[in-house]
Structure 1
Amino acid sequence: MQLIAMLTMLVDHIGIVCFENQLWLRVIGRIAFPIYAYALVKGHLYTRSRTKYLARLLILALLSQLPYQLALNPDGLNVIATLFMAASVMQLMDLTTSIRAKGGIVLAAGVVMQVFPFDYGAYGLLMVLSFRYFANERLLLTHLLLNMLYLLLYGPGGLIQMLSILPTLLIAYGPGLWRRLEGIRVRKWVWRSFYPLHLAGLALLKWAEW
């Protein structure tokens, strides 16, 4: 699972940096984020220390920011920052049983993530929460509704996001297959360092082309 996420994200980012006209590379890249969202929820549920888990995400987000701006988006906040925000929201929601309080937390965080240009914005937050609170048919329906909302907000440019539903289909309906994919593990340092390191490499490649 981790390997699929890393490879599809790499394909996506290579498409942005080196092959802007090759839309199929961006299409393949849509597979990555739902897997990262799913992995984040699993990490949130099973980590020994949620404080340390948040700290690791924050450090990775900070390390990734400059390469992200140089390689992909000079004005945005990277996807690890999005995952950090989503993990923070899940922790805050776990501290209260009030539906209104939970809704207020999600609304406030969603507004912040839209005002400040977090990668995927509120869509990314809602995707993570979908994996946290739904399963099977409800998860699939929620993901589909999110993609339709994304399409309405971003027009034809959001059409490729529809492919992101593929890993959700596997999670919802292919647990046996998904367990085998989850069994293919990579070393922790590779998983944690892949995002900032591959961005740094792409930033250097982009700089060399100048």
Structure 2
Amino acid sequence: MIEIYKNKFEVDVFLLQIIALATMLIDHIALAFFDDNFWMRSVGRFAFVIYTFLIAQTFICIKNNESKITKHLKFYMLLAILSELGYDLMMQHKLDTWEVVFLNQNVMITLIIGFLTLYLINELQNKLYSILVIICSFYLVYFAKSDYGISGVILIVCFYYYLNSYTKISALKRLFFLISIMILFVVFYHLTIFNSISDLIASFALY
């Protein structure tokens, strides 16, 4: 059973999990039954933001415990395998060829790559090497064609650095940092899926 880490950063993790599950459900309902409704899908974006935050927070809590890191990684990999067929059926509505199966990968692949990125950053403890690791992660999610891609790794890494500096900066700087993270995410993700400026502006307004 995966442990829940809370109170370290003054956040109710269980509440965040409930919000993430609810918004993810709205997102998937829109995808399956409401012709990819823009506003429902936009609400669904909150789920991924929360999951990346929890990935970063969890890693910080267990980064000095190799056995827990291994335990979490195995759990994430199992979840990725179990959810891939359901993801492919939802996205492609068929599983008749290997091309369909490997056309896109579910979001767990992105979260796993992000988790491993944090592990290597923590192990290397070198700014130049960390930048190289992040760049390699960008290429990895790109070629893996995993959901959220580069924007997902950016979000995980940003939350990692945000939480690491949480007690060292003022509340105003924390707010500025979080707003900056959201802007980065919206730009990198939504510019790849929206075809009009009005949709992008609407997305910014929602966030």
Give the superposition deviation at 1:85: 0.8
Residue 135 of structure 2 aligns to which amino acid in structure 1? L
Distance 2:73 2:36 in 1: 37
Amino acid at match of 1:146: F
Contact 1:130 1:143 in 2 (8 A): no
Match for residue 64 of structure 1? 83
For 1:35-114, list aligned pairs within 5 A.
35-47=50-62, 49-73=68-92, 74=100, 75-114=103-142
Residue 158 of structure 2: aligned partner: 130
Q: What amino acid maps onto 2:84 in structure 1?
A: Q
Summarize deviations over 1:83-115 as a string: whole Å, max 9, x none.
111001100110112211101111011111112
Aligned residues: 165
Segments of 5+ residues of structure 2 without an aligned counterpart are 1-15, 93-99, 163-173
Map of 2:39 onto structure 1 = 24
Q: 1:116 to 1:34 in 2, by over 3 A?
A: same
Contact 1:34 1:164 in 2 (8 A): no
Amino acid at match of 1:141: S
Q: Which runs of 4+ in 1 moved over 6 A?
A: none
Task: Show CA shifts across 1:58-107 (max 9, x none).
Answer: 11111111111111254211111111110011001101122111011110
Q: TM-score scaled to structure 1, two decimals? A: 0.71
Q: Distance in 2 between matches of 1:145 and 1:89?
A: 18
Tell me the distance in 2 between the aligned counterparts of 1:51 and 1:163. 39
Counterpart amino acid of 1:89? T
Instruction: Look up the equivalent residue of 2:106 and give its one-letter code.
Output: N
Q: Compute the TM-score of the two structures, normalised by the length of structure 2.
A: 0.72
Higher helix share goes to which structure?
Answer: 1
Give the corresponding residue for 1:116: 144
- Contact kept? 2:148, 2:189, Cα under 8 Å: no
Query: Does residue 148 of structure 1 match 2:187?
Result: yes
1:139 to 178, 185, 194: 178
Q: Secondary structure, in 3 states, of the residue corresponding to 2:124?
A: coil
Higher relative contact order structure (alpha carbons within 8 Å, sequence separation ≥ 6): 1
The sequence identity of aligned pairs, in percent, is 27
Q: Closer, same or farther in 2 for the Cα pair 1:148/1:22, shift >3 Å? A: closer
Distance 2:206 2:79 in 1: 24
1 CA distance for matches of 2:78 and 2:22? Answer: 22
Structure 1 residue ranges without an equivalent (≥5):
166-210
Work out the CA distance in 1 between the residues paired with 2:205 and 2:53.
16
Distance 1:129 1:65, change over 3 A: same
Q: Is the contact made by 1:82 and 1:121 (CA closer than 8 Å) also made in structure 2?
A: yes
**Structure 1: how far apart are the matches of 2:206 and 2:130?**
26
